[in-house]
Amino acid sequence: MKAPSQLVLVLSVLSLGVLLTFTYFNQWGELFSNPDTVLLPYLIFRTLLRMLLAYSLVILFAFPYGIIAGLYRRARFLMLPLLDILQSIPVLGYLPAAILFFVNILPGELGYELASIFLIFTGMAWAVTFSIIGAVRNIPNDIREASNSFGMRGWRYVRHVVLPTIFPAFITGSVLAWGGGWYFLVAAELISYGSVPHALPGIGSYMGNAVFSQGNIASAIFGLILFIAVVYTINQTVWKPLIAYSKRFRIQTMESNAAVKFEPAEGKIIDMFEWLMERKGGIDEFLARAFDRLGAFASTVKLPIRHIPRRRVHVPLPRWEVFSIYTGLFIGIMLLFAFFYASALAQQLRNIVHSISSYPDALNLPAYTFFSFLRILAAYLIALSWTMVAAILVTRSKRLYDLFLPVFDIGQSTPALALFPFIVVIVIQVLGGGTLSIEAASILLLLTGTQWYLLFNIIGAIRHIPGDVLEASRAFGVRGKQFYRDILIPAIIPGILLGSIQAWGGAWNALIVSEYIVFSSNTYSVQGLGAFLTRATLQPNPDPWIITLAVATMTLTVLLMNYLVWRPLFAYAEKYKFEGT
């Protein structure tokens, strides 16, 4: 099905569905009893504006940071660990800092708006930056050497070679980033800090209000469907074409019989960029000089470390140096956070020991972390099971694939946070209000932040199995169980791993909102790290050290998992990669 007609079809089905069910259940009255309903077009506009502003900031940050870190080895030495730590801090770990900082500087609506934009920024920025760094570092050696020998260095190299080459990676990173942004939209627009949540005009807060404070189910459902429609439309009309457009920037290596294909960097975006460079000739000159100075600086700066040889060979840095850099940066950032919290709360940073003794719950942090970890593990295993089966089934026939992909697309676009209340209500109805049901609800909520990463990565991996390997296995009679055991599953191991890393990242982020749920003036919470953090921020006099401790614990756990689990697994999975991937 072609994209535009698929979009129209889906939207029509959704509208028709809404029309019919709302009329049948006579919900229009309740819907319009919500005063904000008529404002929905404006609210959607505000939301999009907010996302766009955040995204512009992401671009302004990610490109310089990513390109510099990608090009200069010495810069990378510090910039990569810094980015790693920033990425490991769960999005909602920035929430207290964002609010306290911005609202204090600019009290009132503008402050909250900025805090919201900053929050969305932190949900988007790291994915895009990492994509850019990866792409810069993956520019083929021969292109690098050719550019250098033709005098394309510094800014010229960036502008004429690097930028077009990294464009596809930038787009895929952006798609991931926007997905993350949508996921947290409700939390970003309905800033609940302190007893009274502050709502910013937008569709996220519309949904949140409908559920949390008004209990207006009709509005909630209507808002949710509208939200899904908006996200889905953007996916189809913006990202899909951009991804197709970005394919022309891919550098294709020579295959034995085919001619060399290098798609020149053309197209509207490049034209706009060129126009800008030409009109404002000064910018181009300025950037060229700035880059030259940067390059000169980079080669002379003396870092307090051993001399790094200028070889292209990857020399792994000695462990203790990496460890000390991470430790130093980590402690530095956490202290900065603590300082932010304290100054914004207009409190003194008292002795940390004193803080802990007045808030003894803090001693349970290791236990809470362990429980949260188990919860994520349960959600992950459930997600892995169903996504593997679904991915294998879906990729078997083209028809099934075409049919289900939009379904999965929509599933991924659905902001999980908006589903929370429904899930909680349903689970509590079914299982009673006891601990078991809340744990179940919690795990279900974690699933929503986890499963799509796995599903799409596994589907992608299956589709990327080289055709000749599939042919060979057929030709040699490999069928049935043996095919799955010996061919399919080993082939998708790198994809499962990548999906798992993203899934766990999503799960840590979802933890904060899935362990402490407020619904129609009832509070449901489990024993875990996320609940602890939320509780600590909801205290009448929040203690900056306690909040910092919670954020630090979560960040540290993510970093440790990275180092102890993901990195070794990545090394092991190398042997499953097909050549050229």
Partner 1 sequence: MAKGKHPEIELRHVTKEFTENRSKGVAISDISFQINEHEFVCVVGPSGCGKSTLLRIMAGLEFPSSGRAIFCGKPIAGPNPKHSAMIFQTFALLPWRNVSENIELGLQSVGMPKQKRVEIVNKYLRIMDLEDFATAYPFELSGGMKQRVGIARALAIEPRVLLMDEPFSSLDAMTADQLRNDVLEIWRNPKTKTNTFVMITHLIEEAVFLADRVIVLSKRPGRVIADIPIDIPRPRPEHVRSKIFFDMCDMLRRLISYHEQK
Which pair of tokens denotes residue 569?
């697994």
Place of tokens 């020579």: 254
Nearer to partner 1, 318 or 466 (CB): 466
Stretch that binds partner 1, among 6-14, 169-177, 481-489, 547-555 (CB under 8 A): 481-489
Assess 479 for contact with partner 1 (CB under 8 A): yes
Assess 475 for contact with partner 1 (CB under 8 A): yes
| 108, 302, 434, 579: which one binds partner 1 (CB under 8 A) | 579
Q: In angstroms, what is the minimal distance from the CB of 320 to partner 1? A: 31
Task: For residue 344, give Cα distances in angstroms to 104, 187, 341.
Answer: 6, 21, 5
Q: In angstroms, what is the minimal distance from the CB of 581 to partner 1? A: 9
Assess 482 for contact with partner 1 (CB under 8 A): yes
Stretch that binds partner 1, among 26-34, 431-439, 483-491, 516-524 (CB under 8 A): 483-491
| 41, 312, 476, 571: which one binds partner 1 (CB under 8 A) | 476
| Per-position x/- string for 237-256, each x denoting binding to partner 1 as judged by CB under 8 A, each - no binding | -------------------x
- CA-to-CA distance for 275 and 469, rounded, in angstroms? 47
Stretch that binds partner 1, among 156-164, 420-428, 486-494, 500-508 (CB under 8 A): 486-494
DSSP-assigned letter for residue 251: B
Stretch that binds partner 1, among 198-206, 207-215, 366-374, 478-486 (CB under 8 A): 478-486
8 A C-beta contact, residue 51 and residue 234: no
Nearer to partner 1, 109 or 486 (CB): 486
- Residue 259 CA, chain-centre distance (Å), reads 38
| 468, 521, 540, 541: which one binds partner 1 (CB under 8 A) | 468
| 105, 290, 374, 469: which one binds partner 1 (CB under 8 A) | 469
Nearer to partner 1, 469 or 565 (CB): 469
- CA-to-CA distance for 470 and 242, rounded, in angstroms? 30
Nearer to partner 1, 294 or 569 (CB): 569
Three-state DSSP string of 125-189: HHHHHHHHHHHHHCCCHHHHHHHHHCCCCHHHHHHHHHHHHHHHHHHHHHHHHHHHHHHCHHHHH
8 A C-beta contact, residue 169 and residue 163: no
Nearer to partner 1, 4 or 318 (CB): 4
8 A C-beta contact, residue 326 and residue 85: yes
Assess 492 for contact with partner 1 (CB under 8 A): no
Q: Footprint of partner 1 on residues 305-344 (CB under 8 A)?
A: none
Q: Footprint of partner 1 on residues 253-292 (CB under 8 A)?
A: 256-257
Task: For residue 173, give Cα distances in angstroms to 63, 126, 289, 371.
Answer: 12, 9, 29, 32
Task: Give me the amino acid identity at 142.
Answer: D
Assess 473 for contact with partner 1 (CB under 8 A): yes
Task: For residue 527, give Cα distances in angstroms to 94, 359, 398, 530.
Answer: 21, 16, 45, 8
| Measured torsion, CA atoms of residues 52, 56, 58, 61, in degrees rounded to the nearest 10 | -170
Three-state DSSP string of 258-297: CCCCECCCCCHHHHHHHHHHHHCHHHHHHHHHHHHHHHHH
Assess 541 for contact with partner 1 (CB under 8 A): no
| 478, 488, 538, 556: which one binds partner 1 (CB under 8 A) | 478
Nearer to partner 1, 390 or 573 (CB): 573
Instruction: Centre a 10 Å sphere on the Cβ of residue 458 and count the other Cβ atoms it contains.
Output: 25
8 A C-beta contact, residue 59 and residue 131: no
Q: Footprint of partner 1 on residues 558-577 (CB under 8 A)?
A: 575-577
Nearer to partner 1, 225 or 478 (CB): 478
Q: In angstroms, what is the minimal distance from the CB of 473 to partner 1? A: 7
Nearer to partner 1, 500 or 553 (CB): 500
Q: In angstroms, what is the minimal distance from the CB of 503 to partner 1? A: 23
Q: Footprint of partner 1 on residues 447-466 (CB under 8 A)?
A: 466
Per DSSP, the residues of 316-362 read PPPHHHHHHHHHHHHHHHHHHHHHHHHHHTT-----HHHHHHH-GGG
Residue 318: which residues within 8 A CB-CB, separation 6 or more? 306
Assess 399 for contact with partner 1 (CB under 8 A): no
Count of residues near partner 1 by CB under 8 A: 24
Assess 497 for contact with partner 1 (CB under 8 A): no
By the criterion CB under 8 A, which residues form the site for partner 1?
Answer: 256-257, 466, 468-469, 471-479, 482, 486-487, 490, 493, 575-579
